[in-house]
Structure 1
């Protein structure tokens, strides 16, 4: 299990597209407005798989599929795109979760990968 903390929410990060773009603190400045910035303070690597859970605070999401680069990108630069949908797509850094509803987010909230 790995826990990160939301340090910044871009003004356009939450919209009606049913996805969230996560990035670590080394985020390129041109992506700040559309991203959720997370800080990982632990040493344990993120190792999601089908059947894992992704929690935003106490809001629980089931991981139904993930792209082949999702764990690597999360561990290297804190980046993944979370799609809140049943269908599993082909985005290399995608994490596909249900339910199909965006979580309520706030700065300081924990994101748990388990």
Structure 2
């Protein structure tokens, strides 16, 4: 397991991004103006590198990682801040974006577990 945490707060506008097939994560040190757009989670240790071929697990659903931006590992490790796109893209749209293959959830509940793992 590379990273494990859970959603503890949902910003006022965070769910709006789900309709665009993405979710924005930030740890609980998110600036207030940014937190409104994020799914907030406690800081956790990143114990390895997130890479293509790994898995993102959201609650009970596992998504294959299809692309990883250049600063994803740094941003997740330091800030708990990345964007996850549920579009199966093979090239990262932005440096802080992880692309995964699968259907984006319509909503997330507090307590939903977020995991990145190697397989």
Cα distance in 1, alignment partners of residues 38 and 9 from structure 2: 8
Unpaired segments of 5 or more residues in structure 2?
none
In the alignment, which residue of structure 2 is the partner of 1:72? Answer: 74
TM-score normalised according to structure 1 size: 0.89
| Equivalent residue for 2:54, pick from 52, 64, 69 | 52
In the alignment, which residue of structure 1 is the partner of 2:96? Answer: 93
Q: Residue 40 in 1 paired to residue 38 in 2?
A: no
Aligned length: 113
TM-score normalised according to structure 2 size: 0.86
Cα distance in 2, alignment partners of residues 29 and 59 from structure 1: 29
Cα distance in 1, alignment partners of residues 48 and 14 from structure 2: 22
Cα distance in 1, alignment partners of residues 48 and 96 from structure 2: 13
Cα distance in 1, alignment partners of residues 48 and 93 from structure 2: 20
**Bigger fraction of residues in strand:** 1
| Equivalent residue for 1:61, pick from 49, 59, 63 | 63
